[in-house]
Amino acid sequence: MKFFIDSADIKEIREAHAMGFLDGVTTNPSLVSRTGRKFIDVLHDICEAVKGPVSAEVTAVDRDGMLREARVLAKVAPNIVVKVPLIADGLKAVKVLTEEGIRTNVTLCFSPLQALLAAKVGAAYVSPFVGRLDDIGHDGMALIAEIQTIYRNYHLPTEVLVASIRTPTHIRQAALMGADVCTVPFAVMERLLAHPLTDKGLAAFLKDWEKVPK
């Protein structure tokens, strides 16, 4: 499974990259707005730090507007993946962008049939939002299981990018289901390393090491 970080904070991204297991980055307008910087400047910094896929989202909601923005974003760096909302005009845009050789990430997916349509028009990634489904009393991970089954049934190449991750449990379940990617907030990523027995064991080793003659 690939690990992406869901962030526009270049310090977080560099720290995650230094850990050695980071495969890519996802951003969105909300994350970029928190930086207080120009979107293109943020993208340039991220693409310089991480050579894997970097998702950059359009803000237009009409086909032609999305295409204009997508073509500008795609020129920022070769590893840019254009993020497009899962609406009718978004699918129209994805079809054209795919034909032009521009990779896309179809976002805000909340049903298996939406995911099927995204794959049909050639999306490189589809992003189901598991946490937001959990927030309203639905089972977000059940959605991942259904998408995985549909994609396998028809050998669809679109990668399932599990998004809106709240806990390490989401990641464990996604990995067991065979999801292609999890995009993870930095705070959750740090929690993947945490275990009380690791801390306890390390403390014991260091305490015993102090007894060794130097």
The active-site residue, picked from 83, 120, 200, 214, is 83
**What token pair was written down for 196?**
């009380």
83 is catalytic: yes
Which residues are CB-neighbours of 141 under 8 A, at least 6 positions away? 130, 170, 173, 174, 177
**What token pair was written down for 138?**
């639905």
User: Which residues participate in catalysis according to the annotation?
Assistant: 83
